[in-house]
Amino acid sequence: MEEQVLKWLKEGRDDAEDIVDFPWNVKKQSEHVYLAEYPKIPFVLNVVFTEGFVHLIVPFGLETVSLEPSERLKLYHTLLLLNDKINLLKFTLSGFNEEIVLRVDLDRKSLGKEEFNDALTSLLIGVNELVKALGLEKDFARSIFERVALMIIERLQRGATKKDLVKFLVVKVGMKREEAEAFIDEIIKAQKEEERKSSIGYV
């Protein structure tokens, strides 16, 4: 089942209608633990295989341990309402800092591609619903912008041309060509400025 799930994620095309049919970039983190991402999807997916289940986990990036009791109560109420609203999906707290995590636990014995796609769709809906419920639209948009910028920087470091980067942003991210070109120019400009400052610092 592990190989099959990874195959579902890796194989695909950029104009697919179903989330599972996008060509996800999958990286192995440790034994039976993988990270998967696709530029049009606003989260990084953790895929964990255990003896009986496939766990799809999306850390939301919001820690609750330091919140005031009244704020925490309001947040818990929101998570409980969302748990009742979206099928398959669970909103939970994880770790010492009680970070909000979205997860779907799928039975390995009966898992098919359609159910796997439904799980991915639930995670996408869940992330969007949680962002709206918490009023974090601007912060979330900024985090997506930063993630795409990091993807561009990584590709620049690997020697990608501007043409390659424009194609990536247009096809994978869904930007208009003019926006993609301006976005890349800004990143290159910022990198050159950073390099200039670094060189001055070493003089």
Identify any residues that bridge with 145 across adjacent strands, giving them in sequence order. Answer: none
What beta strand segments (E) does 50-115 contain?
53-63, 90-94, 99-107
Contact 24, 12 (CB under 8 A): yes
pLDDT one-digit tens code per residue, 2-12: 899 999 999 98
pLDDT one-digit tens code per residue, 103-161: 999 999 999 999 999 999 999 888 888 888 888 777 777 777 777 888 888 888 888 88
Q: What is the rounded distance in angstroms from the CA atom of residue 184 to the CA atom of residue 166? A: 8
Q: What is the rounded distance in angstroms from the CA atom of residue 11 to the CA atom of residue 27? A: 14
pLDDT of residue 201: 61
pLDDT of 167 higher than 80: yes
Fold of 2-135: Yope Regulator; Chain: A, (3.30.1460)
What integer best gives the mean pLDDT of the chain?
A: 86
Say which residue the tokens 């034994």 belong to.
Answer: 31
Q: Is 160 helix (H, G, I), strand (E, B) or coil?
A: coil
Q: Among the ranges 8-22, 46-60, 134-148, 185-199, which has the highest mean pLDDT value?
A: 46-60
Domain segments of the chain: what residues? 2-135, 140-202
In eight-state DSSP terms, residue 48 is E
Say which residue the tokens 């993807």 belong to.
Answer: 151
Q: Which two tokens stand for residue 87?
A: 């099928």
Q: What is the rounded distance in angstroms from the CA atom of residue 10 to the CA atom of residue 84? A: 31
Instruction: Give Dmax (Cα) for the chain.
Output: 63
Say which residue the tokens 């109420």 belong to.
Answer: 77
Name the nearest CA neighbour of 140 among 179, 132, 168. Answer: 132
Against a cut of 0.85, is the pTM above it? no
